[in-house]
Amino acid sequence: MKRKLLVWLFAAIFTMPAFAQNDFDIAKNVDIFVSILKELNDKYADEISPGKLTETAIDAMLASLDPYTVYYKESEIEDVRMMTTGQYGGVGALIQQKGKDVVISEPYENTPSQKAGLRAGDIVKKVNGQSLEGKNSEDVSAAMKGQPGSTMTIEVFRPTENKTLTFTIVREEIKMPNIPYSGMIGDEVGYIKLDQFTDKAGEEVRSAFLQLKKEGMRYLILDLRNNGGGLLHEAVNIMNIFVDQNVQIVETKGKIPEMQRVHKTSMPVTDKEIPVVVLVNEHSASASEIVAGAFQDLDRGVIVGKKTFGKGLVQNVLPLDFNTSMKITVAKYYIPSGRCVQNIEYFEKDTTQGAYKIPDSLAVAFKTKHGRTVYDKGGVEPDVLTEDTILSDVLYALVVNNLIFDYANQYHATHPTIPPADQFKVDDAIYADFLNFLKDKEFTYETDMEKALELFKKDAEEVKGFSKIKKEYEALKAKLEEDKSRDLETYKEEIKEYLSTEIVVRYYYQKGRYQNMLGFDPEVSTAKGILLDQQRYQKILSPKN
């Protein structure tokens, strides 16, 4: 059987329509590969799997190119569909690794998991009778996915009730929304959170935009933070809402003729006057950068936040034999000013250093529509740069140790209802209860200052100088312990905000998360301030003489 597989593989490669007789280099190297695989299969001391060896070779080959050119085997086909359409067959639950367990972190609203009664914090034990103990989150995710209409039995342990529960759930076609939330902030400012650019993202943004206009919107915040991108044509469709028909948004340049293409808006504009602020951060990539870059290059809106990721490459997903596929980098893209936002060079010829970050010293200046100077520094540089938001040591420890997650689950189990998402706040009584919860958990953590002090001690011991400063070290350590004991009070407001949102998600899901967060999001506050100060807004978009 293995021998037949190798013969078929060899024959298939040489009968592919794309194979050219004069491409000797490809023929030579394919011949070498098949010969090696055949000899290994026939003579290696132990049994081998030709399929696994081939997958290893493919993965290594693609990894030498760039991180975005990826092979998907048959078992990953649902991931490919999710990537391009936002759809998959499953029950609609977000899961996460928690120590050795995999837990439900969030059932999505109006999905089979939520309707069946799964809750955040439920520990997944079995799916269809198969034990998943010791498995990782990828294994559990694969077990929970399946054909829409198929039945899944899931056994979970619920810590808040200290019992094992079994649910029978019919899988459905799950569509992850491009827009998890849109709504008004006050009377005049609309807000649209765009999470991804899958199929129909442009239609969904236009629909949300028109609804907000009906509600009195005069200004818009388009939030692209943490949006890793998606379909290029959906980025063009979104820009079509805000700029005239037949305006160039992006140009792609690749090796094959089909990739030498200019992408323009094709429909009449929806609203070319409304002031817009686009929020971005270091995780805004690809299609997000096309939209943000087009807004900036066309002087159509103000960009606020952090410098974007810097992914100026285009991928196509190509179907292959046996229900496999490959995502392949086919082009670079260039936004309206002519710049490419790519941050890392993968393709430069005549270099032995491999992939490298493009230095700022090589940045080239470009001009926006109205004459502002912008640069191809790798990523889109915001017009208004915001400060980094860094969690305090104590909040970071509470989050990574899942203590806020666990308390929110406990609170939900004992409180059937809470006020509306945009009104709920953790008050002092809830916070006091949270502190009692932490006492039972024996919460402890190490601050960055303590880590630095221990490194200093280690260095001093290595040079045999610690005895000279031992008294000062112990005094400083005691001072840090004293300060740390007050951290839960010092950072009380920061912790309360985070805790409020985590609790709200248990009742109001993703929409509730954004409704609650908007009240204390500093970048949203900055964006709103710019929009309501139209003199400042116009000044930002004007060329500096």
State the catalytic residues. 286, 297, 311
DSSP codes of every residue in 426-459: --HHHHHHHHHHHHHHT-----HHHHHHHHHHHH
Neighbours of 33 (CB within 10 A): 16
DSSP codes of every residue in 293-358: HHHHHTT-SEEEES------EEEEEEE-GGG-EEEEEEEEEE-TTS-----EE---SS-SS-SEEP
Q: Is the dihedral of CA 256, 257, 260, 264 positive or negative?
A: negative
- Do 507 and 513 contact (CB within 8 A), yes or no? no
* Buried-state track 232-250, b at ≥16 Cβ within 10 A, e below 16: bbbbbbbbbbbbeeebbbb
The alpha carbon of 493 is separated from its chain's Cα centroid by a whole number of angstroms, namely 27
Q: For residue 516, what are its two tokens?
A: 């609650």
- Do 258 and 168 contact (CB within 8 A), yes or no? no
Collapse the DSSP code of 399 into the 3-class scheme (helix H, G, I; strand E, B; otherwise coil) and give the result.
Answer: helix
Q: Which residues contact 246 (CB under 8 A, 6 or more apart)?
A: 264, 265, 266
Q: Which of 374, 310, 309, 303 is nearest to 338 (CA)?
A: 374
Q: For residue 77, what are its two tokens?
A: 């086909």
Positions of E strands within 60-180: 70-72, 87-90, 93-98, 101-107, 123-127, 130-131, 151-158, 163-170, 172-175
Half-sphere exposure of 471 (CA within 13 A, CB side): 1
Collapse the DSSP code of 33 into the 3-class scheme (helix H, G, I; strand E, B; otherwise coil) and give the result.
Answer: helix
